[in-house]
Chains A and B, each alone.
Chain A
Amino acid sequence: MRIEKCWFCSSTIYPGHGIQFVRNDAKIFRFCRSKCHKNFKMKRNPRKVKWTKAYRRLHGKDMTQDSTFEFERKRNRPERYDRNLTENTLKAIKTIDKVRSKREAKHIETRKKGKKAQLMREAVKELEQSINLVKAPGAFKEDNSLTLPKIKVKVSQTQAENQPMEE
């Protein structure tokens, strides 16, 4: 009994589930459920279908390269049974799983956190470069910081004099 991977969405197929399709060139396609099977029949490319693992890996949403992936490899030559080895393997599988899931979570976290530092740097740079759009170079003489100039409210004398005249 083997657990296979769905060709379309890369989820695990337990024994007794799903459909296998064998093409004329003897390539076997395994599907975990009819959703994947039907998508395949519609000739959709899993790399373009958002919810598949292939898409997520391709677009960097999920971790692609890691040393934990190398532990699991399909071996074609059978090994002679060794109880100690098997015991160790079973325990190892659990730890490897834990490590891998932690790393994946970290990857996603870093992705979601955003580029705070980078944005900060960009903001600072923009501020320095384009401050002349909102502050004239003349205003720098009084106030040397990268902030908006204080708008002077000019009380014009002529108006004050005009008022009584035009009454």
Chain B
Amino acid sequence: MVQYNFKNITVVPNGKDFIDIILSRTQRQTPTVVHKGYAISRLRQFYMRKVKYTQTNYYDKLSTIIDEFPRLDDIHPFYGDLLHVLYNKDHYKLALGQINTARNLISKIAKDYVRLLKYGDSLYRCKCLKVAALGRMCTVIKRVAPSLAYLEQIRQHMARLPSIDPNTRTILICGYPNVGKSSFINKITRADVDVQPYAFTTKSLFVGHTDYKYLRYQVIDTPGILDRPFEDRNIIEMCSITALAHLRAAVLFFLDISGSCGYTIAQQAALFHSIKSLFMNKPLTIVCNKTDLQPLEGLSEEDMKLVMEMKAEAMKTVIGQGGEPTDDQGVLLTMSTLTEDGVIAVKNAACERLLDQRVEIKMKSKKINDCLNRFHVAIPKPRDQKERPPCIPQAVLEAKAKQAAEKEKRKTEKDLENENGGAGVYSASLKKNYILANDEWKEDVLPEILDGHNVYDFIDPDILQRLEELEQEEGLRQAEEVDDDFEMDGKELTPEEQQALAEIRKKKSLLIQQHRIKKSTAESRPIVPRKFDKDKQFTTRRMGRQLSALGLDPSKAIDRARSRSRGRKRERSPDNDGGDTMDMDVDTPNKRLRMRSRSRSRSVSRPPGEVVPGEGFKDSAQKVKAQKLAKKSSKKRNKDARRGEADRVIPTLKPKHLFSGKRSSGKTDRR
């Protein structure tokens, strides 16, 4: 709102800058190229455009200035007066008026020259006209430059004026210089006003904000007022006078009863009486400050009289508002800003009175009816004449009273903390309020970990009982163990039995091995009939050995075997059957002997290598050789139990060295 926010006024450029801005803009925003060969209308149009463009810019800018600066008659009288006090209304108006004239002049210039340009006949002439037009416009501005400077200064100052809302709840502080007004405002608001021992420290109005009953109050600090005739007052004092005059606020008149401001109470009272006309219709409070230096009761007679006079005046304002005439609580107050004694009371009193006044006025005005129409307080209709006051049981009242008393007596934790050294030093005992079966246990430290176990996991109310059970169990178990140990020494095998067992196991494993070999080579190994027994397994000697190992007498078996395998008539030389021989026939040992003795004398057959002359052999050696060759050729091929010639036995199908092993470096894709 222009009304009280002067911060949004655009910057007023100074004269030279103004001209530069406008001209450069014209230069940039209008076409710049023109030749004398163009059509004359085009040339005219070109230059007319420039002139008009410049004029419009000037017009716009000056209009903004004129519009944005507030008109003193249109704004709140408080601001009007304030601005008048600060800047002098006349000068202000004059400056704005000059700007206005400048604007009009420029428009006129532009109009004239455009008219002339319409009849320009050459480029040069048009150009000269344009130059002249622009030049004249700029001269106008140059002449107006001081006003522009002045307006700029005003604008800067206005922007820094405190944003006081003249219509809201306001508290005004006034009094002689150095009485403590700024200290007071520092105390109740967040404003940070300079407080110094010399007079007129505060040179202008300062605003702070404070809260009371959930409402915002403006507190305005004014410069001190001296007791002088109205005409002699300087600007600073006039500020406060203006504020007093125009703002509908609660007024706090500050009185320094100690006289340390340099002025006696008499002087202050005189001031009071001279400006009391300004306090019309405003809730007035007399505030006696600096009571730490001089209490109110200690005043002398005359001073007391003066103070009472002032109070009486103040009472008039109370009465004037229609408040109770006997209510003098909010009229004369004492306080000390140094000790902060009574400061809040003063603020509350002032706010309260202001609020009452405002509410009253609102109630009386017409607008309130609109609001009231919207409210309706519902009251239940009384059904009979019986009085039903609120009933509070006695116990509750007592409890409340006790609680109130207790609250004051009770020592809070915060107090305890402060006593014992403050926040960093003292740490509150959290165990203080524990509810335990026995209060001695409050400070006990419980171990959380024991021997690698969590103690909490073991806590159980019945742990003793269970422990007992466990111990019983353990006792039983130990008894059992002892029994078990006795049982263990049982029977053992004798060494002969162990030997027999070993033999059995050896034999079994042999059998298993053989079976495994047979199983694995079953495909490649044909079953060799007993006839071609090359391992010579099936001999009677072997049989005899095995049978005797088993504990039987093998003789009969051997005999039977032998008698079957050999023909009785056939006699063989003892060396013919290689290796282990078939033993001599047990039955006819003598016969054999006899045969042998006879064979030497007579030959029944020829010896094998003897050469018969008709055969064609050279000698017996040759014949023997030939016989051997003949035998060899008709020898049966030793198949060696193979199926065919290609039947090769692979002893190990998957030799480990071909199928396993890591490479030190490289891959194992192929082997």
Asked if A38 is at the interface (CB within 8 A of a chain B CB), the reply is no
B504–A74 touching, CB < 8 Å:
no
- Given A75-B457, A81-B436, A83-B441, verify A136-B493 contact (CB < 8 Å): no
B452–A161 touching, CB < 8 Å:
no
A106–B466 touching, CB < 8 Å:
no
A72–B550 touching, CB < 8 Å:
no
Asked if A43 is at the interface (CB within 8 A of a chain B CB), the reply is no
Asked if B456 is at the interface (CB within 8 A of a chain A CB), the reply is yes
B447–A90 touching, CB < 8 Å:
yes
Asked if A1 is at the interface (CB within 8 A of a chain B CB), the reply is yes
Asked if B492 is at the interface (CB within 8 A of a chain A CB), the reply is yes
Of the candidates A102, A135, A138, A148, the one having the most CB atoms from chain B within 10 angstroms of its own CB is A148
Asked if B405 is at the interface (CB within 8 A of a chain A CB), the reply is no
Asked if A22 is at the interface (CB within 8 A of a chain B CB), the reply is no
Chain A residues within an 8 Å CB radius of B548: 151-152, 154
B493–A149 touching, CB < 8 Å:
no
- Given A89-B463, A136-B550, A148-B499, verify A72-B593 contact (CB < 8 Å): no
Q: Once the chains are docked, how many angstroms separate the CA of A150 from the CA of B583?
A: 25
A158–B586 touching, CB < 8 Å:
yes
Asked if A92 is at the interface (CB within 8 A of a chain B CB), the reply is yes
Q: Once the chains are docked, how many angstroms separate the CA of A94 from the CA of B470?
A: 13
Within 130-160 of A, Cβ neighbours of B (below 8 Å) are at 130-131, 133-136, 138-139, 142-143, 145-152, 154, 156, 158
Q: Once the chains are docked, how many angstroms separate the CA of A96 from the CA of B467?
A: 8
Contact of A136 among B437, B455, B504, B551 (CB under 8 A): B551
Q: Once the chains are docked, how many angstroms separate the CA of A29 from the CA of B207?
A: 64
Asked if A112 is at the interface (CB within 8 A of a chain B CB), the reply is no
A126–B504 touching, CB < 8 Å:
yes
Q: Once the chains are docked, how many angstroms separate the CA of A81 from the CA of B583?
A: 102
Asked if A99 is at the interface (CB within 8 A of a chain B CB), the reply is yes
Asked if A45 is at the interface (CB within 8 A of a chain B CB), the reply is no
Chain B residues within an 8 Å CB radius of A92: 458, 463-464, 467
B547–A81 touching, CB < 8 Å:
no
Q: Once the chains are docked, how many angstroms separate the CA of A102 from the CA of B477?
A: 11
Contact of A86 among B451, B459, B507 (CB under 8 A): B459
Contact of B550 among A85, A86, A135, A165 (CB under 8 A): A135
Q: Once the chains are docked, how many angstroms separate the CA of A71 from the CA of B464?
A: 11
B507–A3 touching, CB < 8 Å:
no
Q: Once the chains are docked, how many angstroms separate the CA of A107 from the CA of B494?
A: 31
Of the candidates B452, B466, B496, B500, the one having the most CB atoms from chain A within 10 angstroms of its own CB is B500
B451–A131 touching, CB < 8 Å:
no
B500–A146 touching, CB < 8 Å:
yes
A95–B471 touching, CB < 8 Å:
yes
Contact of B460 among A68, A89, A131, A149 (CB under 8 A): A89
| Total interface residues in chain A, CB < 8 Å | 65
Query: What is the count of residue pairs linking A and B with beta-carbon distances less than 8 angstroms?
Result: 170
Asked if B591 is at the interface (CB within 8 A of a chain A CB), the reply is no
Chain B, residue nearest A142 (CB) = B551
Chain B residues within an 8 Å CB radius of A81: 434, 436, 441, 444, 446
Chain A, residue nearest B456 (CB) = A75
Q: Once the chains are docked, how many angstroms separate the CA of A109 from the CA of B481?
A: 12
Q: Once the chains are docked, how many angstroms separate the CA of A96 from the CA of B464?
A: 11
| Total interface residues in chain B, CB < 8 Å | 66
Chain A, residue nearest B442 (CB) = A81
Asked if B670 is at the interface (CB within 8 A of a chain A CB), the reply is no
A68–B470 touching, CB < 8 Å:
yes
Asked if B549 is at the interface (CB within 8 A of a chain A CB), the reply is yes
Chain B, residue nearest A73 (CB) = B457
- Given A3-B454, A71-B458, A138-B551, verify A85-B463 contact (CB < 8 Å): yes
Q: Once the chains are docked, how many angstroms separate the CA of A141 from the CA of B503?
A: 20
- Min distance, Cβ B483 to any Cβ of chain A, angstroms: 14
Asked if B74 is at the interface (CB within 8 A of a chain A CB), the reply is no
A127–B500 touching, CB < 8 Å:
yes
Q: Once the chains are docked, how many angstroms separate the CA of A143 from the CA of B109?
A: 160
Asked if B570 is at the interface (CB within 8 A of a chain A CB), the reply is no
B444–A93 touching, CB < 8 Å:
no
Chain A residues within an 8 Å CB radius of B454: 2-3, 72
Chain A residues within an 8 Å CB radius of B453: 3, 72, 93, 97
Over the window 339-377 of chain B, the binary record of Cβ atoms lying under 8 Å from chain A Cβ atoms (1 yes, 0 no) is 000000000000000000000000000000000000000
B459–A133 touching, CB < 8 Å:
no
Q: Once the chains are docked, how many angstroms separate the CA of A136 from the CA of B444?
A: 85
Chain B residues within an 8 Å CB radius of A65: none
A86–B446 touching, CB < 8 Å:
yes
Within 91-130 of A, Cβ neighbours of B (below 8 Å) are at 92-97, 99, 102-103, 106, 116-117, 120, 123-124, 126-127, 130
A138–B552 touching, CB < 8 Å:
yes
A151–B499 touching, CB < 8 Å:
no
A148–B503 touching, CB < 8 Å:
yes
B463–A145 touching, CB < 8 Å:
no
- Min distance, Cβ B249 to any Cβ of chain A, angstroms: 63
Chain A residues within an 8 Å CB radius of B481: 106
Q: Once the chains are docked, how many angstroms separate the CA of A149 from the CA of B548?
A: 9
Chain A residues within an 8 Å CB radius of B413: none
Q: Once the chains are docked, how many angstroms separate the CA of A85 from the CA of B461?
A: 7
A134–B441 touching, CB < 8 Å:
no
Contact of A134 among B438, B490, B500 (CB under 8 A): B500
Contact of A3 among B449, B470, B488 (CB under 8 A): B449
Chain A residues within an 8 Å CB radius of B474: 99, 102
Contact of B493 among A96, A103, A123 (CB under 8 A): A123
Over the window 584-602 of chain B, the binary record of Cβ atoms lying under 8 Å from chain A Cβ atoms (1 yes, 0 no) is 1010010001000000000
Chain B residues within an 8 Å CB radius of A166: 574
- Min distance, Cβ A97 to any Cβ of chain B, angstroms: 6
- Min distance, Cβ A155 to any Cβ of chain B, angstroms: 12
Within 2-48 of A, Cβ neighbours of B (below 8 Å) are at 2-3, 12, 14
B438–A83 touching, CB < 8 Å:
yes
- Given A72-B457, A75-B456, A139-B550, verify A130-B508 contact (CB < 8 Å): yes
Chain B, residue nearest A110 (CB) = B484
Chain A residues within an 8 Å CB radius of B523: none
Chain A residues within an 8 Å CB radius of B466: 71
Asked if A167 is at the interface (CB within 8 A of a chain B CB), the reply is no
Q: Once the chains are docked, how many angstroms separate the CA of A130 from the CA of B508?
A: 9
Q: List 20 A-B residue pairs with CB atoms under 8 Å apart, sorted by A's residue number.
A: A71-B463, A72-B458, A75-B456, A78-B456, A82-B437, A82-B441, A95-B471, A97-B453, A131-B504, A133-B508, A136-B550, A138-B552, A139-B551, A147-B499, A148-B496, A152-B553, A154-B544, A158-B584, A158-B589, A165-B593
Q: Which 6 A-B pairs have the closest CB atoms?
A: A139-B551, A149-B551, A136-B550, A147-B496, A136-B552, A134-B503
